[in-house]
Chains A and B, each alone.
Chain A
Amino acid sequence: MEKKIFILVVEDEPEVLDSIMRDISDFEAFFPIEMADTAEEARELIREILDRDDQVGLILCDHVLPGDNGVELLVEMQKSEETRKTRKVLITGQAGLKETVRAVNEAELRHYIAKPWEKEELISIVTEMLTDYVLENVRQPLRFMQILDGERIAEFIRKGGGLTDN
Chain B
Amino acid sequence: MSKSKLAGLILGIAGFLMPLVVNFPGLSLAGHLAMSIFLMAAVFWMFETIPIYSTSILVIFFQVILLSTEGFITYSGGDYSPLPYTRFIATLADPIIILFLGGFVLADASVKYDFDKSMTRLLLSPFGTQPRYMILGLMTVTAFLSAFMSNTATTAMMITVILPIVAKMEPGDPARIGMALSIPFAANIGGIATPIGTPPNAVVIAALNQQGVDVAFSSWMLYATPLAIIMLFFAWQVLLRLYPPAVANIPLKLDGKLKKSRNAIILYVTFALTVILWVTEGLHGIRSAIVALIPVAVLTLTSAFEKQDIRKLPWEVLWLIAGGIALGISMKETGLAEWMVAAISWEKFSYLLLLAVFGAVALIMSNFLSNTVTASLLIPLAISLATSGILEGVFGMMMIGLVIALAASFAMVLPISTPPNAIAVSTGMVKTKNMISSGMIIGVTGLILILLMAIFYWPYII
Contacts and interface: CB of A to CB of B under 8 A. Distances in A.
Interface size classification for chain B = 20 to 34
A151 B152 contact: no
A159 B427 CA distance: 18
B426 interface: yes
Contact of A164 (B164, B191, B314, B428): B314
A157 B372 contact: no
A157 B370 contact: no
A154 B159 contact: yes
Contacts of B373: 166
A160 to B, nearest CB: 6
A1 to B, nearest CB: 8
A141 to B, nearest CB: 9
Contacts of B150: 164-165
B317 interface: yes
A145 B424 CA distance: 10
A164 B152 contact: yes
Nearest to A164: B314
A143 interface: yes
A87 to B, nearest CB: 22
Contact of B152 (A145, A147, A155, A163): A163
Interface string B93-137: 000000000000000100100001000000000000000000000
A146 B418 CA distance: 18
Contacts of B423: 142, 145, 154, 157, 163
Given A145-B426, A159-B111, A160-B153, A166 B160 contact: no
A28 to B, nearest CB: 16
Contacts, number: 79
B157 interface: yes
A157 B152 contact: yes
Nearest to B313: A160
A150 interface: yes
Interface string A126-166: 00000000000000001101110011001111111001111
A156 B419 CA distance: 14
A163 B66 CA distance: 33
A46 B371 CA distance: 43
A146 B91 CA distance: 40
A109 B157 CA distance: 31
Interface in B145-193: 150-153, 156-157, 159-160, 163-164, 191
A160 B199 contact: no
Contact of A165 (B116, B312, B419): B419
Given A142-B426, A150-B427, A151-B164, A164 B316 contact: yes
A166 B426 contact: no
Nearest to A158: B156
Contacts of B383: none
Interface string A26-64: 000000000000000000000000000000000000000
Nearest to A144: B426
Nearest to A142: B426
Interface of A: 142-143, 145-147, 150-151, 154-160, 163-166
Given A146-B426, A154-B159, A163-B419, 15 more contacts: A142-B426, A145-B423, A146-B428, A154-B156, A154-B157, A154-B160, A157-B152, A158-B111, A159-B111, A160-B108, A160-B153, A164-B152, A164-B419, A165-B372, A165-B419
6 A-B pairs closest in CB distance: A146-B428, A157-B156, A166-B370, A158-B156, A145-B426, A154-B159
22 contacts: A142-B422, A146-B426, A146-B427, A146-B428, A154-B157, A154-B427, A157-B152, A157-B153, A157-B156, A157-B423, A158-B116, A160-B108, A163-B152, A163-B423, A164-B316, A164-B317, A165-B151, A165-B191, A165-B372, A165-B418, A166-B317, A166-B371
Interface of B: 52, 108, 111, 116, 150-153, 156-157, 159-160, 163-164, 191, 198-199, 312, 314, 316-317, 320, 370-373, 418-419, 422-423, 426-428
